[in-house]
């Protein structure tokens, strides 16, 4: 699940497994929306309420709220306890290393998206991160690149589409996948296609690794947001609306960060 | 008519040209002031958080610090949004009292239990009429957090009016939370006050 609060936790990198689940969910959600499309609540008449309604960009709110409730109930009895046990059993440094590995393994997806967004310097950063962390960082377990001046940056196909000027479309809450939108949902599908791990030929030991890595990545990602999500559900009067607002703001800021990165393609020392 | 308009434009341009160089040093001074304000505020906050006091004591010490450095009333009004105008003066006063407590609870929940919190101010940039001061907060065994403090001087002295983490504005998120809650309770501000009352009471019981 993505970071959904203002608690400054980085969004969990979408792993292939999660992404695959997301794709399935998206298709089912898409079908659901087509069926329930006629059920979208009519916009309010009061001008101020209408402005609020437009800002929320959530015409499928009643369906989304149902998905949210289902997801939170399932999470409460499945992923959350597992993540809590994981935090209890595994020391912080080890969890941090595994988190770095998940992030490094996702670096090719970031790279392709940076290329797609036409941001060559960012693509270079992602490429260097991948090379350095895979070798010096022992398969990504240590984020060496960060100390060498190449900190991680986010990118995914939803953001690439945003930099192309594709509007987000209505907000969606995908079951067990968390907050999204039509554009970001389609982005998940593209990211699955961009991840080299989905092209590992079957029968290899790598495939086993792929599964272990994806499941671990999912638990690790959930563990990162344990406190933030618990606190949000305790503090917010309407957690659904809070998550929606935080998600939309965060995606906007991420897309702006990519747009505003005007660094030259070559590093300063090259000139 | 045409000449009058043109003259007005010229006058405007001249006025702008005079104001522009004057505004720039003011901006730089604002940035420096905002930076030292956040540095000072952060230092005091971290000193309380890192002390050996109990959580209750910490909370008691944090409250006056927040009141001095954070424009809690302005944030409160912003968070209530369009419902502020329709609220009665009693409702407004009750709301602000509750909002202060909610804000303090939320801050102490986030940082209260930690020891060894450090922070660094990394830069300042203008954000509309306000200044955004970038900080990096390091908490033990937690990923470091890049946080922007929005400092406004409209009340005469610098005050924090918003905190932005990873592109998410705390006050905007809170406003949308309240707006959605009130809208789902048929626009009843009393329902909001009741819920906040309940939240503050529940927090005190923990």
Let me know if residue B115 belongs to a domain. Answer: yes
* Nearest CA-CA distance, residue B197 and chain A, Å: 11
Q: B165 and A6: CB-CB below 8 Å?
A: yes
pLDDT band at residue A180 under the 50/70/90 scheme: very high
Let me know if residue B42 belongs to a domain. Answer: yes
pTM of the model: 0.82
* Nearest CA-CA distance, residue A179 and chain B, Å: 14
Q: A8 and B109: CB-CB below 8 Å?
A: no
Task: Please report the ipTM that was assigned to this predicted complex.
Answer: 0.80
Helix, strand, or coil (residue B52): coil
**Interface check B101 vs A, CB under 8 A:** no
Let me know if residue B5 belongs to a domain. Answer: no
Q: Give the pLDDT score at A66.
A: 96
**Interface check B37 vs A, CB under 8 A:** no
Nearest to A247 by CA among B173, B29, B49, B122: B173
Query: Looking at residue B134, which CATH number applies to its domain?
Result: 3.10.450.710
- Examine the pLDDT at A34 and tell me if it is beyond 60: no
Q: Are B130 and B151 in contact (CB under 8 A)?
A: yes
Domain of residue B144 covers 22-205
Let me know if residue B3 belongs to a domain. Answer: no
Q: B181 and A237: CB-CB below 8 Å?
A: yes
Q: A249 and B169: CB-CB below 8 Å?
A: yes
Q: Which residues of A touch B177 (CB under 8 A)?
A: 236-238, 241-242, 245
Please state, as a whole number, how many other Cβ atoms lie within 10 Å of the Cβ of residue A246: 30
Range list of β-strands (E), chain A? 171-174, 178-181
Counted across chains A and B, CB pairs separated by less than 8 A come out at 87
**Interface check A82 vs B, CB under 8 A:** no
- A58-72, B11-25, B77-91, B169-183 — which is least confidently predicted? B11-25
**Interface check A253 vs B, CB under 8 A:** yes
pLDDT digits (tens, 9 = 90+) for B105-127: 888 777 666 778 888 998 898 88
Q: B173 and A7: CB-CB below 8 Å?
A: no
d(CA A182, CA A186): 6
**Whole-angstrom Cα Rg for chain A:** 19
- Examine the pLDDT at A130 and tell me if it is beyond 70: yes
* Nearest CA-CA distance, residue B126 and chain A, Å: 15
Q: Give the pLDDT score at A76.
A: 94
pLDDT digits (tens, 9 = 90+) for A92-114: 999 999 999 999 999 999 999 99
Q: Which residues of B touch A246 (CB under 8 A)?
A: 168, 173
A239-259 helix and B170-184 helix, angle to the nearest 10 degrees: 140
Nearest to B172 by CA among A241, A214, A234, A145: A241
Let me know if residue B53 belongs to a domain. Answer: yes
pLDDT band at residue B40 under the 50/70/90 scheme: very high
Overall domain count for chain B: 1
């Amino acid at each position: 699940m993505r970071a959904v609060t203002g608690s400054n936790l980085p969004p969990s990198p979408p792993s292939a497994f999660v992404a695959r689940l997301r794709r399935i969910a998206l298709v089912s959600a898409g079908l659901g929306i087509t069926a329930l499309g006629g059920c979208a609540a009519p916009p309010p008449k009061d001008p101020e309420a209408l402005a609020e309604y437009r800002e929320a960009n959530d015409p499928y709110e009643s369906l989304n709220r149902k998905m949210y409730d289902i997801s939170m109930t399932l999470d409460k009895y499945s992923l959350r306890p597992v993540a809590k046990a994981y935090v209890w059993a595994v020391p912080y440094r080890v969890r941090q290393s595994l988190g770095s590995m998940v992030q490094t393994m996702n670096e090719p997806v970031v790279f392709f998206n940076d290329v797609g967004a036409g941001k060559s310097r960012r693509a270079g950063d992602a490429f260097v991160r991948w090379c350095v962390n895979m070798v010096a960082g022992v398969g990504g377990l240590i984020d060496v690149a960060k100390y060498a001046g190449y900190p991680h940056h986010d990118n995914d196909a939803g953001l690439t589409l945003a930099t192309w000027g594709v509007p987000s479309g209505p907000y969606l809450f995908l079951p067990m996948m968390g907050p999204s939108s039509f554009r970001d949902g389609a982005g998940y599908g593209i990211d699955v296609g961009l991840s080299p791990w989905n092209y590992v030929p079957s029968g290899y030991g790598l495939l086993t690794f792929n599964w272990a890595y994806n499941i671990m990545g999912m638990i690790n990602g959930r563990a990162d947001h344990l406190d933030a999500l618990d606190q949000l559900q305790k503090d917010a009067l309407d957690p659904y609306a809070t998550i929606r607002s935080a998600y939309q703001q965060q995606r906007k800021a991420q897309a702006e960060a990519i747009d505003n990165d005007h660094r030259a393609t070559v590093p300063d020392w090259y000139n | 008519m045409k000449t009058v308009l043109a003259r007005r434009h010229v006058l405007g341009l001249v006025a702008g040209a005079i104001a522009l160089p004057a505004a720039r040093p003011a901006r730089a001074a604002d940035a420096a002031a905002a930076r030292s304000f956040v540095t000072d505020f952060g230092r005091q906050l971290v000193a309380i958080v890192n002390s050996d006091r109990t959580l209750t004591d910490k909370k008691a010490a944090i409250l006056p610090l927040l009141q001095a450095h954070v424009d809690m009333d302005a944030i409160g009004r912003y968070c209530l949004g369009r419902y502020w105008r329709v609220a009665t003066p009693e409702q407004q006063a009750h709301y602000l009292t509750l909002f202060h407590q909610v804000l303090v609870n939320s801050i102490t929940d986030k940082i209260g239990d930690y020891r060894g919190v450090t922070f660094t101010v990394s830069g300042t940039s203008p954000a509309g009429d306000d200044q955004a001061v970038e900080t990096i907060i390091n908490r033990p065994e937690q990923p470091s957090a890049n946080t922007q403090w929005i400092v406004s001087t409209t009340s005469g002295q610098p005050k924090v009016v918003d905190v932005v983490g990873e592109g998410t504005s705390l006050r905007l998120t809170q406003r949308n939370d309240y707006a959605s809650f009130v809208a789902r309770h048929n626009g009843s501000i009393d329902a909001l006050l009741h819920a906040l009352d309940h939240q503050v009471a529940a927090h005190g019981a923990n």
